Chain A
């Protein structure tokens, strides 16, 4: 591969812990976080290294069933399983949030069974009205205080604002990278994009920014990018942290050119507004701006609830914009089994996509590499229908 930056991202994707373990030997403390609700700026500003806890769909779940039911999110079961097997023992602490009910259980199981030196649970609200926003800010104050206690340092407003700027720079760079997918054929494949996104979640933010700058400048000169294919797809839904599903889709007549998932746009697109009290901007972004069906945005549009289509438009209008800008002609809706937050979203979302004439298909999988093969026929059938 001529693109050294992409090759480096792939290396990090394949050996995620390599860099943080190096940093650890240099005396840095590594803080694991689950999902996209823990506020990374606070961790980084206190000179700690945030490291995203992901699952492993290639590792059979053998230990987690002792403490989580089998009929819950297989991604979180995998996360707990890896924790119990010691995969995350190098972490100096963890931050988790009330992402969903099973996510909450995961946080407490982690505390009880794995017992890291530091842990914090952000009881993130599930609605976005003013009182919830105010409550969220209070929770972030507590989180900041708790980390200050852990590090023995005080976090100044200025230092926190600097961290926000570095993260906003990362968000700008990711959006620039995604701009290269608007071209047909895209300059970067769906598989490569995911590898870069996972890499960013595995290394310090400044290193991630340097990597992104290198990748973007190399891609602009790229001659051997993905081939032109009939379908340009957007993939929506539950976490995708392994390339297997995208690989299956891209082995067919389709390029994945856009996503609405949490190791993608959901986590890297929204900026944080630099407010006088930086916690105001952070509290707003990490509650209101983050796009995940775990949060009930309907509360923000209460008058519209009387009109079903207007309500759907308010909730999913951003997908129409994505589809237009990225020239998408089909949407793959996917979720892990037993994910209520995504599952309940599907009928309304399908209605919305139908109403704007964007074809879609829904896939459910159990977060294991082997379970993806039977889905191939469905994806191929969908591509035949839209071609």
Chain B
């Protein structure tokens, strides 16, 4: 295989969405696909992968190295290696914003604070096993409010007097929201209050790392403009948000695949590949 035909793929299997990025030897993105992870955990991950290959008109065998990451990274039969989403996000974010020192990632089921120095992950914090302060919190509450989760951001912008949601527990917040609505508070003020609750929780957690600029916000929740502005307010600094905030983990995984391959080639060592098959990922160990 000629060096210029090397291709690297990152598969980020999150609790809600699976993200696939394929890059070439120059780090240029050839393909990117986001699809649902599926109710049965990672069963659909291979479908997202197939779609990404199709988009770039590539065969699976054409990919030189595949790295899986994310919540569902462990038993992925079509990956050569698994690396945590912590390291992959840091790599991806640093490639998009080389000046980054702190990254906050709010995903479907967890929230992470990352400390990055010279493009490398040096420390991190993660939320406990609790949905508060994550995308799931917004999904549950959007459902309570009979709104679509993707509309929350624009609705919250209409708020003039955001309400304070004191509960950090998703279930109690649901009760609090219902009682606020019955008090006659406008829905946009309630939504803005929910964004504020998430932002406050995530920023407080990340403060343990000492938030230094530049600060980058990623993850599916970064698509919500209401949360972005609330995080900005709580962090007290400007935020950088990638064009596609879901993809930084998958991009980082692909870039790490490229780095590992380059290291192996430089040392004249074989690339440590697994016998991979493009089939359904199995359940957790």
Q: Which residues of A contact B (CB under 8 A)?
A: 364, 371, 373-374, 377-378, 380-381, 384-385
Contacts and interface: CB of A to CB of B under 8 A. Distances in A.
Contacts of B84: 377, 380-381, 384
B172 interface: no
Contacts of B284: 373
Given A385-B122, A385-B123, A377 B129 contact: no
B129 A385 contact: no
Given A373-B284, A374-B129, A378-B126, A385 B85 contact: no
B123 to A, nearest CB: 7
B155 to A, nearest CB: 32
Contacts of B71: 377
Interface of B: 71, 83-87, 121-124, 126, 128-129, 284
9 contacts: A377-B71, A377-B86, A380-B84, A381-B121, A384-B84, A385-B86, A385-B121, A385-B122, A385-B124
Interface SS of A by simple majority: helix
A373 B85 CA distance: 15
Counting from the closest, the 6 A-B pairs by CB-CB distance are A381-B86, A381-B84, A384-B87, A380-B84, A374-B129, A377-B84
Contacts, number: 28
Contacts of A380: 84
A381 B129 contact: no
A358 B84 CA distance: 22
Contacts of A377: 71, 84-86, 126
A378 B123 CA distance: 11
A364 B124 CA distance: 15
A8 B123 CA distance: 41
A365 to B, nearest CB: 10
Contacts of B87: 381, 384-385
Contacts of B122: 385
A288 B147 CA distance: 62
Contact of B121 (A371, A374, A384): A384
Nearest to A378: B126
Nearest to B73: A377
Contacts of A384: 83-84, 86-87, 121
A160 to B, nearest CB: 48
A197 B71 CA distance: 34
A188 B106 CA distance: 41
Contacts of A364: 128
Among the interface residues A364, A374, A377, A378, which one has the most CB atoms of the partner chain B within 10 A? A377
A143 B124 CA distance: 48
Contacts of A374: 129
B21 to A, nearest CB: 19
Contacts of B123: 385
Nearest to A385: B121
A15 to B, nearest CB: 26
Contacts of B121: 381, 384-385
A370 to B, nearest CB: 10
A385 B87 CA distance: 8
B195 to A, nearest CB: 25
Contacts of B129: 371, 374
A380 B81 CA distance: 13
A295 B173 CA distance: 40
A378 B127 CA distance: 11
Among the interface residues A364, A374, A385, which one has the most CB atoms of the partner chain B within 10 A? A385
B10 to A, nearest CB: 15
Contacts of A385: 86-87, 121-124
A384 B124 CA distance: 11
A371 B129 CA distance: 8
